Chain A
Amino acid sequence: MKHTLVTTLLASAVVFGNALSAPTTLGEAPVFTLTNSNGASVSLNQFEGKYVVLEWWNKDCPVVKRHYGGNIQGLQKQFTKDGVVWLSILSSAPGKQGYVLGDAANDAMKSKEGAPSHILLDADGKVGKMYNAKTTPQMVLISPKGEMLYNGAIDNMPNGNSETMSKAENYLVRAYNEAKAGKEVTIKTSQPYGCGIKY
């Protein structure tokens, strides 16, 4: 599964150099079903017709904490208000940093006033690996047709801090604005930064 994704990413990246056959997306977003923090089953398919954001989350990662100083909560509110589905995915393995059960995940998110549509539990890391997710945070944008539009870092400032964050270019926002305007997403991937996902 992981190999398929890597191949897809590479294939699209290779063609990217040729303007005539430039792909419009990173290919079909791999479908998945996970249990959310309230015990319900959530599948990517059920959001057909809507934009979907995947956010890799680890409440104890300092880089996540930096973005939960208000940045991510603001995005969650702005996107979900616009009808976007925001899925915060927890791929930490049992016993590793950031691994929590449903109630604790809800409490942690609530304490930060985070507002994702769902917190999804991916303790075996299957979905994380399907999406080639490497760090927390890492962001993916999926189109209403189920195509992957962006997969990578949240913004262009790995060395940012709370003061510089407003000056950073947020790649997720950029991709969403372009896609919504009917344009091709110009930055489809970037090197994600943050804590390694604790698979």
Chain B
Amino acid sequence: MNRMRVFSYCLLCLVTVWLAACAATPTVPPPGGAGKAEAVPAPAPQPPAREPVPPPQPKPKPPVVEPMPAPVKHPEPAPVVDPPVPPGPPPAAVKLEAVLFEYDAFTLDAAALEALERIYQVLAKEQGTFEVEGYCDERGDDRYNISLGESRAQAVVNWLVARGIEGRRLKQISYGREFPADPGHSPEAWRLNRRVEIVPAGSPGPGVRRRAAGN
């Protein structure tokens, strides 16, 4: 109990010193208003409420001269118009099936391997380069999904190269959860959207292809 009291007095002293320090800070802000941070000062000791005293009649004062920040001219940001992308070679007339994946996975299951074997048979007879596009369903995180789609595309490229397709003919890219093959929000739509699409290099982009497909 005694120790508690000593501790309390110590606290009291500390706080009193601190209060005194606070009270010593000027109550009138420095020129410029808020140039410096300071605690809001304690109110000056006020007499207890009395009969209303008429407020002091101010003499007409000269206009307050305060340092004011000069107005800054702000140019409006102009949208950057990028030069149009040069058209690629005409796309070859080859259409390949999609390779599908399980949720949050880029491993090739039995169905994917069967699809890849059929894709290999077509690619082996074709010339030219192909884009290997990775996609995800809409449920995951945007950013993680771009990496996941990249891993899916990479898994497909690795398998095809191991099977015998030249690596330089395949270029992977991921669009994450953009450009769904099926715009729905059902488990079936998600199943179709977790995919890798392989298209001839120079084909219209996925946005254009999706619009052409009506979604």
Real binding pair:
no
